[in-house]
Structure 1
Amino acid sequence: MDEKKKKKFREFEKKKLPISRKMTVQTLINLVVITIGSFLFAIGVNTFMIGGGLAEGGVIGLSIIMYYAFGYSPALTNFLINMLLLAVGFKFLSKRAMIYTLFTVPMNSLMIWLTETWIFKTDQIIINMVFGGLLIGLGIGLIFRVGSTTAGTTILARIANKYLDVNVSYALLFFDLIVITIGLTVMDLERILLTVIALYIATKVMDFIIEGMNPKKAVTIISKRPEVLAKLITVDIERGVTILKGKGYYTQENKEVLYVVINKNQLSRLKRLIKNNDEEAFVIVHDVNDVLGNFLI
């Protein structure tokens, strides 16, 4: 995507809608994504998890436990508990996240209510486990992707991420496991263990949606031919290169270190380019979870 197209796309995202001066195209897209995420989440919960007699983590997990124990509607209890927990979220989360969450919580409960009868029962409970985890992870991942939360333990997970620098997905898994342990009061151990596996699947899917939809690799190159490699990377790979000044401790020689961030599918091509032009080059490849700025597609 060239600079003109990127500029037009950014202008399109910021375009105001006729129905509201504060509503932009990007905001509308985010609300649609949240709606889709809530729908997928609800199918995962009702169709597969409850359909298979499994539990869940977080507030919806507590709602499912109360459904098994007392017959309360998961949609209603999920809504009420989350609305209480939003008070905590307003204190610790950004204004943008909480505004989206105020839309997400009712939408989640609405979708859970609409899909309450969409039950899928099978003798192969592993199907419920796998697809339940997949859809829940996909739904929550989409919701997180646009900066919202599903309240409940997701608020606690974001607080942990903000103040303790803990990965959101794994913080959420920790809190969810606490809820699942409570599920032992109404479920047998086998279904609890299957729920744990479903949660792990959901965590990995969520992690991919949040951080891995556009995977990047950061490459550090120490070469005797830095100018040649920098030019080839710029021309052939079409990526910007940063040249850092370095010094070898043992040799005390000054060196130029190349640093470049590329798409994952360009890594093999970059390795070949380096090998063909400097077989003695020292190359370090790093995983990159997120890239900000307009310097990389």
Structure 2
Amino acid sequence: MSNITNQKRTNDLKKVLRGIAVVIGAFITAYGLEAILIPNNVSDGGVTGLSIVASQLTGLPLGILIGLLNIPFIFLGYKQIGKSFAINSIIGIVSLAFGTSIMHHIPTIIQGDTLLVTVVGGIIIGFGMGLALRNGGALDGIDMLAVLLSRKLPFGTSDLILFLNLFVFIIVSTVFGLQGAFLSGIAYYIASKVIHTVEEGLSGSKTFKIITSKPELMVETIRDRLGRSATYNIVKGGYSNEQYREITCVINRLEDSKMKEIIHEIDKFAFVAVYDVAEVKGGNFKKHDIH
């Protein structure tokens, strides 16, 4: 009983620490927006970019618009990725909205130098978003939409994120002009590379290869919690000559932290190899809503 209690406390502590990391990431992103990008007529991509444009046109506070426009995407994340991801995303988006509100009048640290604005601004917001994603939350709903569309259309998640953001930057150009739209695109590109570094995989899928002493339980838990199927490969140890069942499972990047949590919970001594996958096509498995 004490081991179960200790394990529960450990899991609760991890969830709290992840939530704190998501909040920190959101405030870092808010600082990059309010202290660098927005004062220089440079926007971000995704729902945040649309919120910035709407704020400029209507005069409504940016924080309120970020919260409102992300509501349908939070619901989408809950249905398609899971409850814990949706909760962390709510924490992140609310923190981002609050952060932009309290930082709205802070001094601009860079003024006029377009190169510094795009590079420094992109690095800061990329680091903040990457920190949130690494800890199981998202600060922008467009990634969730891209993940869903990638299951319906013959395109990879990265292609759809780029495609959706092209429309965002076209809308940005109506407010900030063509130069502002181009600078926004450059800042977003830099941010995406920073997110890739921080979160280890901006877009696309990941393949997990797992060798564990509990393969049946591992596969069942992955199926129940993530709605993901898996396959077995029979492998043989080079030293022990023992046969093992190696589990192979492909997930999207937003499910990475949840997958690692499952593996550690079932068998913390499992051997795990993770590979980035540029694109996934085919297969009869269809993911169900999970909670």
* TM-score, reference length from structure 2: 0.63
User: Pairwise mapping of residues 3-42 of structure 1 onto structure 2 (< 5 A)?
Assistant: 14-16=7-9, 24-42=12-30
Distance (Å, rounded) in 1 between the aligned partners of 2:134 and 2:140? 14
Instruction: For residue 187 of structure 1, give the secondary structure of its aligned residue in structure 2.
Output: helix
Q: Find 1:60's aligned residue among 48, 51, 66.
A: 48
Distance (Å, rounded) in 1 between the aligned partners of 2:154 and 2:237? 28
User: How far is the alpha carbon of 1:31 from its aligned partner?
Assistant: 0.8
Counterpart AA for 1:154: D
Contact map agreement 2:37 2:117 (CA 8 A) in 1: yes
Flag structure 1 segments of 5+ consecutive residues without an equivalent. Answer: 1-7, 18-22, 214-241, 246-288
**Greater relative CO (CA pairs within 8 A, separation 6+):** 2
* TM-score, reference length from structure 1: 0.62
Identity rate, percent: 27
Flag structure 2 segments of 5+ consecutive residues without an equivalent. Answer: 203-234, 239-252, 264-269, 274-291
Contact map agreement 2:48 2:140 (CA 8 A) in 1: no
**Match of 1:204?**
193
Contact map agreement 2:78 2:85 (CA 8 A) in 1: no
Contact map agreement 1:93 1:159 (CA 8 A) in 2: no
Cα RMSD of the aligned pairs, angstroms, is 3.5
Instruction: For residue 60 of structure 2, give the secondary structure of its aligned residue in structure 1.
Output: coil
Distance (Å, rounded) in 2 between the aligned partners of 1:169 and 1:141? 15
Once the two structures are superposed, residues 185-231 of structure 1 have per-residue CA deviations (whole angstroms, 9 ceiling, x without a partner) of 11221121111111110111111112169xxxxxxxxxxxxxxxxxx
User: Pairwise mapping of residues 44-123 of structure 1 onto structure 2 (< 5 A)?
Assistant: 44-118=32-106, 119-123=108-112
Distance (Å, rounded) in 1 between the aligned partners of 2:38 and 2:118? 10
Distance (Å, rounded) in 2 between the aligned partners of 1:79 and 1:159? 21
Once the two structures are superposed, residues 152-189 of structure 1 have per-residue CA deviations (whole angstroms, 9 ceiling, x without a partner) of 21221333466779765664343222211111211221
Contact map agreement 2:146 2:160 (CA 8 A) in 1: yes
Distance (Å, rounded) in 2 between the aligned partners of 1:195 and 1:211? 23
Distance (Å, rounded) in 2 between the aligned partners of 1:92 and 1:195? 29
Contact map agreement 1:89 1:151 (CA 8 A) in 2: no
- The answer on 1:180 being equivalent to 2:169 is yes
User: How far is the alpha carbon of 1:70 from its aligned partner?
Assistant: 2.6
Label 1:24 to 1:131 Cα distance change in 2 as closer, same or farther (>3 A).
same
Once the two structures are superposed, residues 238-264 of structure 1 have per-residue CA deviations (whole angstroms, 9 ceiling, x without a partner) of xxxx8699xxxxxxxxxxxxxxxxxxx
